[in-house]
Amino acid sequence: MTIEEAKAKLKEGNQAYVKSGRNPGTFERAERERLAREGQHPYACVISCSDSRVVPEHIFSAGLGQLFTIRNAGNVIGVHEIGSCEYAAEHLHVPLIVVLGHTHCGAVEEAFKQAADTHEKQKEDALESPIEEVVREILEVTGEYTDTSAMEIENARAGVEKLRKDPTLARLAADGELAILAAIYDTESGFVRFDI
């Protein structure tokens, strides 16, 4: 599948999801067995938040074997996420990677709260715990933004920039075999906005 075909398929899948509220993707036994036998050939890689309202397979009307997904709180991009994307792009040949932020993201809201917190000591204490590592990652790229919607968009865009700096992904992109995009999922309407 080409980059444009993969993008169109995600868009069409999202429109179908919004319209019907159902996932027409295949999860049946025969398909499970076929994929186990023949291996996976997903058409896109989606990096999303772990938020229980953000489920890539449903959002894009995808079944088994169609999306290579990576999820963590705040859809932050670190070494493990980059390594997983390299695997998806280089070994599984996905033509498209989408960093999917979303509205009402708790991790971004926490980062927003901390950015506004002027109590330095409290801020330093908070940054010592693992969950604060997530917030720190988001703050690092969204620090100058003053509302959560802008921060959600900027966090997804920054994720794309990090991925584009990876030599393997950059090479595939330069060869025209891979595109890396940011998008935002509207938790209420179900729509995914591309090209943010």
Rg (C-alpha) for the chain, rounded Å, is 17
Q: Which of 17, 48, 51, 65 binds Zn ion (CB under 5 A)?
A: 51
3-state helix, strand, coil in the chain (%, to 5): 50, 15, 35
CA distance 179 to 169: 9
For residue 80 the two structure tokens come to: 């493990």
138 binds Zn ion (CB under 5 A): no
Residue whose structure tokens are 């999303």? 48
**Binding segment (CB under 5 A) for Zn ion, from list 13-21, 45-53, 60-68, 118-126:** 45-53
SS3 81: helix
Min CB(184)–Zn ion separation in Å: 11
115 binds Zn ion (CB under 5 A): no
Chain mean position to CA 117 = 28
Q: Which of 85, 105, 139, 172 binds Zn ion (CB under 5 A)?
A: 105
Min CB(104)–Zn ion separation in Å: 8
Of 72, 70, 65, whose CA–CA distance to 86 is shortest? 70
Min CB(70)–Zn ion separation in Å: 14
Angle between helix 167-174 and helix 148-164 axes, rounded to 10 deg: 80
180 binds Zn ion (CB under 5 A): no
Q: Which of 6, 46, 49, 138 binds Zn ion (CB under 5 A)?
A: 49
Minimum CB distance to Zn ion smaller for 73 or for 88: 73
**Binding segment (CB under 5 A) for Zn ion, from list 1-9, 14-22, 98-106, 134-142:** 98-106
Minimum CB distance to Zn ion smaller for 65 or for 103: 103
Give the interface with Zn ion as residue ranges (CB under 5 A). Answer: 49, 51, 105, 107
